[in-house]
Amino acid sequence: MLENENENVNIEHKREELNDAPMKSIPLWKRIYLLAMGIGGLNIIAIIISVALMFLPENQANSLTNIITYSVLFCAMFGIIIFDLPKFVYQFKDYRRYLYGLLFGLAVIGFDVCYSNIINLFYTFHVSENEETIRGVITLYPALSIIVIGILGPICEELAYRVGLFGLIKKWSVVGAFFASTILFGLAHFTFSGNILDELVNLPIYLFSGFIFTFAYYKYGFIGSMSAHILNNLISVIVTVAEAYKATSFI
């Protein structure tokens, strides 16, 4: 009995070492770069793009700004870690990481649906300003949204908040890394210039998502958190496109 318990502990320890191995081999400056690009770089790129697109109608300019910004951000991040990808090869080959990641993604979607329905019993639920902006992008550019919002965006955020932020703090404190990764991820989707009450009501959804993605990363590596995040965003894009199509079909 004791031998079986020790064997299970050793297997668990070995798996965690495999999850963390690529992170340990990524230089400190790259982690800082990924985090900085995910937080400050994102805003700087967005400002530059929005100025360049001022000649377009506001809705179109805002939507294209989001699409181009995340596309540029992805290239800037991917270009830095491209030579580190071979260190993740064994993770890409492990189908279980994708499977568990998808399950975590479903958990996020399930929580979102349940929470929204419960809140609607007491409060007229409105999506956050961030979500409203994303829906505008999806409505105008559904095909591009599937690629950028559904895939590139989640990859960028996982590189910033998990590979970057979580990896930086985990060296000193796992609990601290979980806390920082969850809170900053939630605040990154909080619009302080919007309706504060609506933003606060929506905040638990982002905090829960941030925690689940962080847990998926901690247990199953980058593939786990990336799969969860992509599934969540893809489902959101598909549902928004379907709702937009349904609305226009009745006009």
Percent of the chain predicted with pLDDT > 90? 62
Length of the chain: 251
11 φψ region: left (φ > 0), alpha (ψ -120 to 50), beta (else): alpha
Q: Read off the pLDDT of residues 72-120 as tens digits, 9 standing for 90 and up.
A: 999 999 999 888 877 766 678 888 999 999 999 999 999 999 999 999 8
Q: Which residues contact 44 (CB under 8 A, 6 or more apart)?
A: none
178 pLDDT band, cuts 50/70/90, is very high
Total domain count, the chain:
1
Percentages (nearest 5) of helix, strand, coil residues in the chain: 85, 0, 15
Output 148 or 17, whichever has higher pLDDT.
148
What pLDDT does residue 123 have? Answer: 82
133 pLDDT band, cuts 50/70/90, is confident
**Structural domain for 161, as ranges:** 2-249
198 pLDDT band, cuts 50/70/90, is confident
What pLDDT does residue 85 have? Answer: 76
What pLDDT does residue 9 have? Answer: 45
Average pLDDT value for residue range 43-65: 93
Is the predicted pLDDT of residue 14 greater than 70, yes or no? no
Average pLDDT value for residue range 173-191: 94
